[in-house]
């Protein structure tokens, strides 16, 4: 399946994540993590990136960053490339360190930053690495709460977040920690609300971003391909019904192995820009998490079954015509 083009522009905000190849560790010890901090600092100096929140896990990392100069791909490629080179030399492990292309979700800053930041800071706790989220050393939450006793090799921009919880920084930091702890019982990933899995914001904002991107010419944005328009879901419904020989009402039947329903849910999520909630309501009144599981299960099937994969490719190709 074709990968979606990166949307890059001045002042864009992203949730960036990358995982170790075969889910193997990318940080062996604290020296590795300190080196990653150093490289973030180098990237900040060269590409003027702004770091808002982060956490370094054992086999992956999360960053919330802003790109004032619209250079996400170059910045993150330098970050990953320099760190992979260091890691391979130090640990004598040649080959790919990271699992393919890094993930970057374009985010509406004013709407989802607090939720995403909380989600990121809860990662170590939910992985069972610490008993409370503020105890994990390699995160921006820890850096803020320790009140800057050790200077980071890059700038951590926290005013945007703390100002939502009070004028005094110590009070605001305490209230933010309470906000993080309140999210422990909520296992929802804010990213599940993203249109197409990679644009997170209010519906009106998402539409404006896509419309603006389509209007850009390749000459105006060097090296970036224009984003293709989202396909109306009813067009894919007709194609799925034809390809899998089922009626339209069959797309809503809540049976475990309804391959047509699984296909339309997968297509609606990846190519139509619908949120998990919109898809769930449309195809059987199911929850966000249920939709996400269906998308994941169907993706696994596509990887294993060439005939099914070819059918979906045919549907996607027909839908774009």
pLDDT reading at 310 higher than 50: yes
For 202-213, what is the mean pLDDT? 78
User: Strand order of the sheet with strand 103-107?
Assistant: 50-56, 60-67, 12-19, 103-107, 199-200
pLDDT of residue 223: 36
Q: Of 74, 80, 104, 105, which Cα lies nearest the Cα of 222?
A: 74
Q: Select, from the ranges 13-27, 107-121, 287-301, the one with the highest average predicted confidence (pLDDT).
A: 13-27
Flag the least confident range among 184-193, 207-216, 223-232, 242-251.
223-232
pLDDT of residue 213: 66
Q: Of 61, 36, 38, 41, which Cα lies nearest the Cα of 51?
A: 41
pLDDT reading at 20 higher than 50: yes
Which fold, 12-199?
Answer: Alpha-Beta Plaits (3.30.70)
Q: What superfamily in CATH does domain 233-319 come from?
A: DnaA protein, C-terminal DNA-binding domain (1.10.1750.10)
For 26-47, what is the mean pLDDT? 97
Sequence-ordered list of residues with C-beta below 8 angstroms from that of 56, at least 6 positions apart, any chain: 27, 33, 36, 138, 139
pLDDT of residue 217: 44
CA 253 – CA 314 distance, rounded (Å): 24
Residue 238's pLDDT band (cuts 50, 70, 90): very high
For 162-177, what is the mean pLDDT? 85
pLDDT of residue 216: 45
pLDDT reading at 258 higher than 50: yes
β-bridge pairing 60-67 and 199-200: unpaired
**Angle between helical axes of 306-319 and 233-244 (0-180°, round to 10):** 140
CA 171 – CA 177 distance, rounded (Å): 10
Domain limits, the chain: 12-199, 233-319
pTM: 0.68
Q: Of 112, 176, 166, 110, which Cα lies nearest the Cα of 144?
A: 176
Q: Please tell me if the domain spanning 12-199 has the same topology as the one spanning 233-319.
A: no
H-only helix segments in 105-222: 109-126, 140-145, 159-162, 169-182, 203-215
pLDDT of residue 51: 96
Residue 288's pLDDT band (cuts 50, 70, 90): confident
Asked whether 152 and 143 are in contact (CB, 8 A), the reply is yes
């Amino acid at each position: 399946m074709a990968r979606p083009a990166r949307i890059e522009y001045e002042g864009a905000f992203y949730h960036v994540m990358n995982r170790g190849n075969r889910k193997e560790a990318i940080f062996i010890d604290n020296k590795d993590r300190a080196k990653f901090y150093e490289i973030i600092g180098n990237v900040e100096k060269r590409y003027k990136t702004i770091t808002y929140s982060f956490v370094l896990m054992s086999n992956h990392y999360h960053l919330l960053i802003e790109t004032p100069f619209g250079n996400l791909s170059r910045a993150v490629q330098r970050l990953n490339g320099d760190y992979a080179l260091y890691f391979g030399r130090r640990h004598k492990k040649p080959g790919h360190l990271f699992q393919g292309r890094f993930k970057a979700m374009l985010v509406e800053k004013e709407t989802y930053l607090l939720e995403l930041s909380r989600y990121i800071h809860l990662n170590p706790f939910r992985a069972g690495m610490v008993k409370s989220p503020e105890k994990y050393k390699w995160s921006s939450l820890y850096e803020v709460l320790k009140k800057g006793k050790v200077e980071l090799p890059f700038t951590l921009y926290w005013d945007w977040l703390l100002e939502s919880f009070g004028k005094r920084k110590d009070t605001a930091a305490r209230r933010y920690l309470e906000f993080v702890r309140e999210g422990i019982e909520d296992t929802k990933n804010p990213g599940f609300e993203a249109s197409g899995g990679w644009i997170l914001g209010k519906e009106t904002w998402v539409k404006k971003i896509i419309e603006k991107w389509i209007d850009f010419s390749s000459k105006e944005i060097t090296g970036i391909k224009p984003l293709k328009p989202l396909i109306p879901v009813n067009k894919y419904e007709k194609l799925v019904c034809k390809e899998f020989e089922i009626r339209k009402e069959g797309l809503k039947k809540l049976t475990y192995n309804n391959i047509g329903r699984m296909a339309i849910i997968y297509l609606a999520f990846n190519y139509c820009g619908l949120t998990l909630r919109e898809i769930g309501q449309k195809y059987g009144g199911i929850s966000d998490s249920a939709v996400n599981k269906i998308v994941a299960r169907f993706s696994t099937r596509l990887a294993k079954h060439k005939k099914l994969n070819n059918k979906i490719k045919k549907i996607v190709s027909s839908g774009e015509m």
